[in-house]
Amino acid sequence: MLTIKNLHAEVDGKQILKGINLEIKKGEMHAIMGPNGSGKSSLSSVLAGRENYTVTQGEVIFEGKNLLDMSPEDRAREGLFLAFQYPVEIPGVSNLHFLKTALNEIRAYHSLPAMESKEFLKLTKEKQQLVDFNANLMNRSLNEGFSGGEKKRNEVFQLAMLDPKLAILDETDSGLDIDALRIVAAGVNKLRSADKAFMVITHYQRLLEYIVPDFVHVLYNGQIVKTGTKELALELEEKGYDWLKEEVHQKESV
């Protein structure tokens, strides 16, 4: 579904990604871990098309198409979704209106007619229940005055509504207490299916107790330095990142 080859990117002239290689297939759950400043969020930004990042080398193929050639909106329309680490508050834009606009723009891209209001409301209700999103927040301005947990739940709710092929969750667990974390994770788990893939970016192993990954990748200094299964996450939890950093430096000095 997604193939990242030798991806290099910089922001403000500073190299952040230094040759990422990653293959994600349908139905898979990939976790990206790594210490602060290793490039985890940069990777998600580059994939979603944030404009201040410049790709200097490499390519990203998403469902057979060159992802890096597309505008952010076309990436979303092709089925990529980024759950933001810091969802934006937009006063004056209602959650419902926003979602309807997004859904219909994606449908228009695929030459589908706009969704009828009745059908849209039915879908909304169904997905609200699925991810346990408070219906009272629907008519409020987008994320305005939402608690940290409500914002993150709204991201998962949007994910459920827009039904992407590949969802990237950027530190969705940050700022959540354990109850909110469980609810968000349960929502994500309900959305897992054989034809969807997930990339979960996290600092901590905690989230991975609830969302069990097929693969765990460790990002350090702009590269994936280790790939393993869920056991790797446990090992990191126990030993921290320092041993990995040393391994990398030893390799470099050889």
Partner 1 sequence: MTSDKSFYEFISNGVPGPEQKVDADNAILPARKLAFGRFKELGLPTVKTEEWRYTNIQRYLKDAFTLAQEEQGTVTAEQLKAAGIPQLDSYRAVLVNGRLQADLSTLPTGGKITVSKVSDAAGNPQLQAWFDKHPHLQSQPFAALNAALFADGLFIEAGVNASLDKPLHIIHVYTASANAFIQPRHLIVLHKSATLEVIESAVGINDNAIAFVNGVTEVVLEENAELWHYNIQSTVKNSRHIYHTSTTQKADSRYHHFNFTLPSAELTRNNLSVALTGSNTETNLHGLYLATGTQHVDNHTFVDHLVPNCNSNELYKGVLLDDANGVFTGKIHVHQDAQKTNAFQQNNNLLMSEKANINSQPQLEIYADDVKCSHGFTVGRFSEESLFYLRSRGIGEEAAKSLLVNAFAFDITDQVHIPALQDFLAEKIRQYVAGAINN
Of the candidate spans 49-57, 201-209, 235-243, 244-252, the one that interacts with partner 1 by CB under 8 A turns out to be: 49-57
Nearer CB in complex with partner 1: 50/245? 50
In 3D space, the residue among 7, 22, 8, 20 whose CA is nearest the CA of residue 199 turns out to be 22
Task: Output the CA angle 150-152-153, nearest 5 degrees.
Answer: 60
Determine, following the binding rule CB under 8 A, whether residue 153 of this chain makes contact with partner 1. no
Nearer CB in complex with partner 1: 4/167? 167
**What gap in Å lies between CA 61 and CA 7, rounded to an integer?**
11
**What gap in Å lies between CA 47 and CA 67, rounded to an integer?**
8
* Least gap, CB of 15 to partner 1 (angstroms): 22
**What gap in Å lies between CA 201 and CA 251, rounded to an integer?**
25
Determine, following the binding rule CB under 8 A, whether residue 77 of this chain makes contact with partner 1. yes
Nearer CB in complex with partner 1: 88/178? 88
Q: How far is CA 231 from CA 29, 208, 215, 236, 241, in A?
A: 14, 10, 9, 9, 14
The secondary element (H helix, E strand) that includes residue 148 is helix 148-162
**What gap in Å lies between CA 245 and CA 221, rounded to an integer?**
9
Determine, following the binding rule CB under 8 A, whether residue 11 of this chain makes contact with partner 1. no
From candidates 128, 158, 172, 221, binder to partner 1 by CB under 8 A = 158
In 3D space, the residue among 151, 159, 231 whose CA is nearest the CA of residue 188 turns out to be 159
| DSSP string for residues in 190-231 | HH--TT-EEEEE-S-SHHHHHS--SEEEEEETTEEEEEE-HH
Determine, following the binding rule CB under 8 A, whether residue 101 of this chain makes contact with partner 1. yes
Determine, following the binding rule CB under 8 A, whether residue 145 of this chain makes contact with partner 1. no
From candidates 12, 13, 14, 51, binder to partner 1 by CB under 8 A = 51
Of the candidate spans 7-15, 22-30, 100-108, 219-227, the one that interacts with partner 1 by CB under 8 A turns out to be: 100-108
**What gap in Å lies between CA 66 and CA 41, rounded to an integer?**
21
Determine, following the binding rule CB under 8 A, whether residue 75 of this chain makes contact with partner 1. yes
DSSP 59: E
From candidates 13, 64, 92, 113, binder to partner 1 by CB under 8 A = 92
Determine, following the binding rule CB under 8 A, whether residue 127 of this chain makes contact with partner 1. no
Determine, following the binding rule CB under 8 A, whether residue 151 of this chain makes contact with partner 1. no
**Contacts with partner 1 in 182-241 (CB under 8 A)?**
none
**Contacts with partner 1 in 52-71 (CB under 8 A)?**
71
**Cα 229–chain centre separation:** 19
* Least gap, CB of 245 to partner 1 (angstroms): 32
Which residues sit at the interface with partner 1, rule CB under 8 A? 48-51, 71-73, 75-77, 81-82, 84, 87-88, 90-93, 97-98, 101-103, 105-106, 109, 141, 158, 162
